[in-house]
Every structure is written in structure tokens, then in C-alpha cells.
Structure 1
């Protein structure tokens, strides 16, 4: 975690309380991101800065591990539980300004008395805070957080697959120092005080404990000439365009994972992943049921009675659909293999539902012909309501 983050109130940036749920944080971020996006506010520097701040806040608070470390670190720093001089001897820290109490168990703070103490103690917290904490955590690079964004596709784009550009702002490797944090032409050097561990071990009486190295701030390395663009962090908030290939058949609300396209890791650590939530617009003609395409085909009464063949649209052209003679209104006809493409290379079916279109007005010839047909229908004994409702 970047130490500068401790001075920022990410909850305030998103307009949520510190007890907000993950869903509340996501909803707040999405609303702000839509309102502040550079594409919606061209030339507005203030909106762009707010957009970057909101993106940074979401990157931390949407990551369960980072949010936990951020909350704990802010609580400890606010209470004065530790600082440059480390912990004062004589016992544990009593929250609320009461100083240190002899009743406090040091094991609760450090998770163990040695430099490589157990998980869950202050050593682990500082390991996350300064990326080089005590024990095992000190040698692991800090992976970047996952990033979420959204895109909206047309119905046919989602069904057939499409390549879309996504413009987004998120923490990325500094393009000047390539993520090292050092000025181009220079390199970080191993901290001589802690020998690159990021931790200094001390003994006080019967207790031994570790604390972050003051010289390198727990990173294990010292940058004599920091990169002027990222101030030594190796990370910049920058706007970039990513080309995303959306596979055929994607559904509304589906998430696509792009490995390594999320937030950059600190000083060259692996980047997180980018998750793109796809929203699909409705189509005027097609609907969808699973991998099957659906459509409603308007037909005349005579076409249902006599039968016909009708040309209907598909995702890749048109196809003739045979309507058998005597087809009932509302019947669904199936055209195999002309639906939504599947992952295995096959496709779903096209489901065509016939629906009679009733003319609102007829000319004299059509009216007379229809009356003659109605008389002939009755003479032939056809009763559409035979057996209906007890008749």
C-alpha cells in the first residue's frame, strides 16, 4: 500500500460511510464514474481529477484485503499507536489516548515476539502497508488490485461477438520508470540498514519484536533519485484505451476477465485483472432464450390456413421458414442451427412464433369475399367455439 493513501479519505471520495457494504461501494463508484468520465466531460480538468481520485478510491475499497489494511492502518495512525520511534517500552497501547497499559498482551500486537512472528499481527499489517513487512510477507511482491468497468453492446454485437475499445483511468505502471520508481538511468539500491528485509528487529527486556525500517519505510530498497513523474511509487493514474474482444454469445450482465489488465503492482509486482461487465441492449426484432434466438412472425389468416413459406431474418442473412397448412395462431416453428453461437462452435436454434395480423380496414371486394368465406365456413360445419366454456 502506498503510504500517501493514509492521508486520503477514500470513503469521502465515494460519498459512502466507512461501514458501507461492497455493493454500496460498487454502486457509488459506478454512478460517479459515469458522471465524471472524461468522455462525458471533455476539457474539464476538475472532472478528470475527480475521476482519477474516485478510481483510486475504488481500487482500494473494492479489494477486501486492501480495504482491511487501509482501515486498520488509518485507525492505528490516527490513534498514534506507532510512529518513527516505534513502540514505547512498558506494555501495550491503550486506545483512546490512555497510553500503554501493562495489561496489554504484546503477542496480540505482533502476532509473535520474533521478527518472523505469526500471521495476523502488526508485522503482517505493516507488511501490507509498506509492502515489505516482517517475516514471510517481506519477500512477496504486492499484486495490483483487480479493476472493474462496464460496456454496453447492441443485441446483435453481443450475439455475434465484437471487438470494442474501452477507455478507462486506473493505476498503471509508470511509463517513465517502467514501474521501478527510480529515475531513468538509475536503479533502487538495497537498504543497508535492514539489508533489504524492510524490517528492523529490536529487543526490549524479555521481548523481541520487529518494526518497519525507518530508512526505507519498510520497502527494503532505497531510491536515491526518484522518478519525477510517479514520485518513486512506480505507479501512475493514467487514462488508457484497451481493446477487448467480446466472444460471441455473451449474455447481459456477464463478466469478461482480462488477465493482467488491472491495477499495476507496486514497483514491478504483477498487475491485477480487469473485469468487464457487459450490458446488452434490446433488439427490435430478436429476443433470446438461452442460446436460442426468438422472433414473432406476422402472418395473415389465409397464410395459416393454406400454408406458405416466409423469408425471416437471422444473425447472418435470411432463411425461408415453411408454415404448414392449418398452422394455429401462436405456434412456434423451429429452425435448427440459426440461433446464438456457442463456445463449442455450434449454434442454438431460431424459434419463430407466428401471429395473425388482423387488417384494420378492407375494401369492398375483400369484404364481400370474406363474407362469402364465412358463409361457406358455417355451411361446412366449422365452429371455432365448439366445446368451449361448456358450449
Structure 2
């Protein structure tokens, strides 16, 4: 570039910008003009170098003070330019920690990671899910080995600095002019290795241990949901926070109720006279007995709603409904008295009911026989 732009203008910030604002502005521009995102684009590479030169000056307090007072001449002594990165590789060398944060690296040392999460399973009855409860759960997690105190090294020895990455936990891989930091393949990002491993944990620094604790189940949980127990996962081996334990919920089938979200469905059989004449049914609810008024002329499959007798929602207030679905039950072996009364009813309805009906399969055989004869004709 023949004419240098103001470094504040290059980064798009005010002269009063804080160090955090300077870094944030640079990260955004570095991502926008990064060579990996703009292969073969000379203008993007030029912009990349320009914003890096601006950041190199403004993120340093002394250089920024000289630049604010004397301009470009104050930071290079001859007025001809800024930080003068000769190529993109110089930029990665200067700001490798920043590019590690942007493009998947992690700075100059081993990364601090949260411990791994663990899982356990909890089985509930419908009533436990409706009311909420406290359950005892059991699971296994890796914890620091007691013999080596989590170091993985045998007694009398210690972990050694990884020779591959020099203890940084990160290595720089080059691809042309682009250099990207990645996790060290030799030490897995820890920055150190075990030469003489602990016999108890075989150098892993962790051993599997059974844990028994309690979890509070909120009212209204459904099958497949999960409840988190914070901090009950595996501890971090790099000094980070422990992971969490996730309890996966399974509901047992109920003999009377079928769950549909917040609603419960109860299927109740009724007789033909109850459906035809109407009646008051006593039905079960989660809290005890309930009543449903069945009007005259009810059809099989009709549904009656009891509001607020369903399941709570663990994420909000309110209750679902109890849906009572009636089915007309036909007796398979009516008594002689019932058969006599049904025939009288049929006569009233002007219907002829034969004393003995053919079975379904006999009718099916007759149907197929008639179809075959029709095809032959």
C-alpha cells in the first residue's frame, strides 16, 4: 500500500477504544480476511496484513501512546510504515495464541477443559412423574487415582514435559503460508507425558468408581426427558470444572392411563343401555375417584374431558386434562334372559335377528367361493 490508513480506521474503532474492544475488532477482521477463507485473493491477504499491523501497534500500550502522539512515524521511526509483517507466517508467529482461539487452537499452553458428563437411568411410575419425587441413582465415573494422586506416574517418579510440543500442549502445522495451531498428538494437549506409569491406573491418572447420590425429579417429567445433576460428572484433569450427570427418565406403563403429553387418556367400557339411555360413570383419576356424565345417545369412541386432571408441565404452570374415551361393550355370551330381551328390542326396531349367526370366517369362505364362480363364468 502506498498510503497508510489510520490504524483506528483500519480496525473500525474509536480512539478511546479499550483493549478488549481492540482485540474484538481485530478478531472479526482476521476471520473475515483470513487466507483460509479467501484462497488466492491478494486483496484479502493485504487487508489481513493491514489489520494485523494495526493491532500489533494498538494492543501494545507504549506503541499506542507513541502512535497517538506522532502517528505512524512514532512507531517505526521513519514514517514509512507500521509493524511490517513480511508474510502471513510472521502474523501467525506474532499472534499464535489469538489465532488459536479463533481457529480451534487454545493459546500457548495446555487447554483447560470441563470434565466429561456421565449418564444414569431413572425409572418412574406415572404417579411419581405426576407428583415429582427424589430418587436414589447409581452410576460410575472416572476419578483421580488415589495411588498417584491423578498424575498417572508411579511412586517416586513424575510426569515429564512433552518433547514434541515443549510442554505447550499445542503444535503449529503449516500449509503453505497458513499456519494453524492444533492439539499436540503426542501428549493429547496436556503438555506432559508419563514415562514410568502408575500400576493401579496404568498411567491414566483415573480409576472407575461407583457413585450413589440423589436426584430431585420435577413434577411432570415425561419418558425420554433428562434431569441434570450439576457437578456430579467426571472431574477435569486440566483444572477445569467437573462435568455433570444426566439422568434419563423412563416411565412405566400404567394399567388404566395412557399419557399423551400433558393429557391422560382413560378408556372406559360401557354397556349398550348406558350409551343409549345415558348415565353417570365413576372413573379413576390420579387423585382418586371422578365422575363423568354420559348423555343419552353416546356413541362408541366418544371422548369426555375432565379439565385439570392430567399431568403438570415441568417447564411451566398448569395441568393437562383427563380424556375419558368410552367404548360400548358387547356381551360375548348373553344369558337367556338377556338374549330374550335383545330379541324383543330387535322386534321393536323391526329387525330380524336369526337365532344362530354364521361366523365371520364362514361368511368369508362363502364370499371367496362366490367370487371364484363369478370369474369362471
TM-score after normalising by structure 1: 0.50
Segments of 5+ residues of structure 1 without an aligned counterpart are 1-106, 126-134, 189-195, 201-209, 380-391
**Structure 1 residue aligned with 2:323:** 351
Counterpart pick for 2:334 among 358, 362, 385: 362
Relative distance call for 1:218 and 1:153 in structure 2 (3 A) is: closer
The runs of 5 or more residues in structure 2 that have no matched partner are 1-86, 160-166, 172-180, 352-377
Matched-pair contact (CA < 8 Å) for 2:98–2:107: no
**In structure 2, how many angstroms separate the alpha carbons of the residues matched to 1:322 and 1:169?**
53
Partner of 1:154: 125
| Distance in 2 of aligned mates of 1:295 and 1:110 | 73
Question: SS at the partner of 1:375?
Answer: helix
Q: State how far apart, in whole Å, the 1-side matches of 2:119 and 2:90 are.
A: 35
CA distance in 2, matches of 1:212, 1:323: 70
Aligned match of 1:319: 290
Equivalent residues of 2:126, 2:251 under 8 A apart: yes
Offset of residue 332 of structure 1 = 0.1
Given candidates 246, 250, 262, the residue that maps to 2:233 is 262
Paired position in structure 2 for 1:24: none
Number of paired residues?
A: 251
Contact 1:111 1:119 (8 Å CA) reproduced: no
Q: 2-side partners of 1:166 and 1:111: how far apart? A: 53
In structure 2, the partner of 1:288 is 259
The question of whether the paired residues in 1 share the 8 Å contact of 2:221 and 2:313 is answered with no
Residues 296 and 352 of structure 1 are in contact (CA less than 8 Å); yes or no, is this contact kept in structure 2? Answer: yes
Summarize the Cα distance change of 1:212–1:115 in structure 2 as closer, same or farther, 3 Å threshold.
farther
| Cα distance in 1 between the residues matched to 2:242 and 2:267 | 47
Q: In the alignment, which residue of structure 1 is the partner of 2:112?
A: 141
Structure 1 distance, partners of 2:104, 2:90, is 8
Q: CA deviation at 1:353?
A: 0.5
The question of whether the paired residues in 1 share the 8 Å contact of 2:110 and 2:169 is answered with no
Give the match's secondary structure for 1:138.
Answer: coil
Summarize the alignment of residues 219-230 of structure 1 with structure 2, pairs less than 5 Å apart: none
Deviation of 1:327 (Å): 1.5
- In structure 2, the CA distance between the partners of 1:211 and 1:284, relative to structure 1 (3 Å rule), is closer
- Of the two, which has the highest radius of gyration? 2
TM-score, with structure 2 as normaliser: 0.51
1:248 paired to 2:219:
yes
3-state DSSP class of the match of 1:170? strand
Q: 1:305 to 1:231 in 2, by over 3 A?
A: same
Q: Is the 8 A contact 1:164 1:245 kept in 2?
A: yes
Distance in 2 (alpha carbons) for counterparts of 1:268 and 1:138: 13
2:209 is matched with 238
Q: Which of 370, 377, 380 does residue 349 from structure 2 map onto?
A: 377
Q: 1:229 and 1:321 mapped to 2: Cα distance? A: 66
Q: Distance in 2 between matches of 1:297 and 1:147?
A: 43
CA contact (8 A) 1:252 1:279 kept: yes
Q: Note if contact 1:265-1:271 (Cα within 8 Å) is conserved in structure 2.
A: yes
Q: Could you say if the C-alpha distance between residues 295 and 148 of structure 1 is closer, same or farther in structure 2, counting changes exceeding 3 Å?
A: same
Give the stretch that moved more between structures: 354-363 or 273-282: 273-282
Q: 1:273 aligns with which of 244, 265, 279?
A: 244
Root-mean-square deviation (Å): 4.8
The alpha-carbon deviation at position 306 of structure 1 amounts to: 1.7
Deviations 1:298-347 (A, max 9, x none): 00011112221122112221211221222122110000100011233421
State how far apart, in whole Å, the 2-side matches of 1:318 and 1:240 are: 41
Shift of 1:362: 2.1
How far does the alpha carbon of each residue in 1:329-387 deviate from its partner, in whole angstroms, 9 at most, with x for none?
A: 211000010001123342100000000111112222222222222223349xxxxxxxx
Q: Report if aligned partners of 1:160, 1:315 keep a CA contact under 8 Å in 2.
A: no
Give the Cα separation in 2 of the matches to 1:174 and 1:312.
58
Partners of 2:325 and 2:99 in 1: CA distance: 62
Cα gap change, 1:378 to 1:111, in 2 (>3 Å): farther
Deviations along 1:75-98, one digit per CA (max 9) or x if unpaired, are xxxxxxxxxxxxxxxxxxxxxxxx
Distance in structure 2 (CA, Å) of the matches to 1:111 and 1:375? 100
CA separation of 1:147 and 1:218: change in aligned 2, threshold 3 A: closer
Distance (whole Å) between structure 1 residues aligned to residue 293 and residue 283 of structure 2: 10
Looking at structure 2, the residues matched to 212 and 358 of structure 1 have their Cα atoms a distance apart, in angstroms, of 72
CA–CA distance in structure 1, aligned partners of residues 297 and 126 of structure 2: 33
